[in-house]
Amino acid sequence: MTKIAGGLERAFAARGFTEPSVEELRDAAGVSLRTLYKYAPSRDAMVRLALEHRHQRYLSHIFTTPTGSVPQSLEDTLDRVADWMRTEASHGCLFHAAVVSAPTDRSLRSLLERHKAEISQLAASQAGNDVTASDALVILEGLTQAWPLAKEAALISAKRLAALAKRAAVAH
């Protein structure tokens, strides 16, 4: 199942959600069409499977270090998000792209909302009293959305905003 989900994720990340044919998705998943449809009986199911896989990989990449410990500050988290953007998502957020490709699909919107809520809550909880989940959401989203245009400058700005949020939290 992980092999299928990973192949689908790579195909959608590379070609978008409307471009790859079912045959291309089958080839990317490395299985027969019958097996692909067994685990994902529709294109919508394939998209959801790919996004769930992406969510788990993102959580692991951002919130687990090679030693198994977790980043302790929002700045550490921002560095890991920038690393993800450099290697995995230079064109922007795959969850946002999915919603854009099917704007009336409530299940995709729900996946996007759950993904962003979980990420921002984890980032805020690791940062302690430095930022709220809402602060973390805005800073992380700013970084991921600005990355395709500004690259490293987006990381510098995100870190500056995180420092301002931390100072504001300490002042209150």
Using one digit for the tens of pLDDT, what is the confidence trace for 51-66?
A: 999 999 999 999 987 7
72 pLDDT above the threshold of 80: no
When the pLDDT of each residue in the chain is averaged and rounded to a whole number, the result is 93
Residue 7: closest CA among 24, 16, 21: 24
171 pLDDT above the threshold of 90: no
Q: Which CATH architecture has domain 2-171?
A: Orthogonal Bundle (1.10)
| Residue 90: both structure tokens together | 């230079």
pTM, entire model: 0.92
Q: How many CB atoms lie within 10 A of CB 75?
A: 17
The residue among 18 and 172 whose pLDDT is bigger is: 18
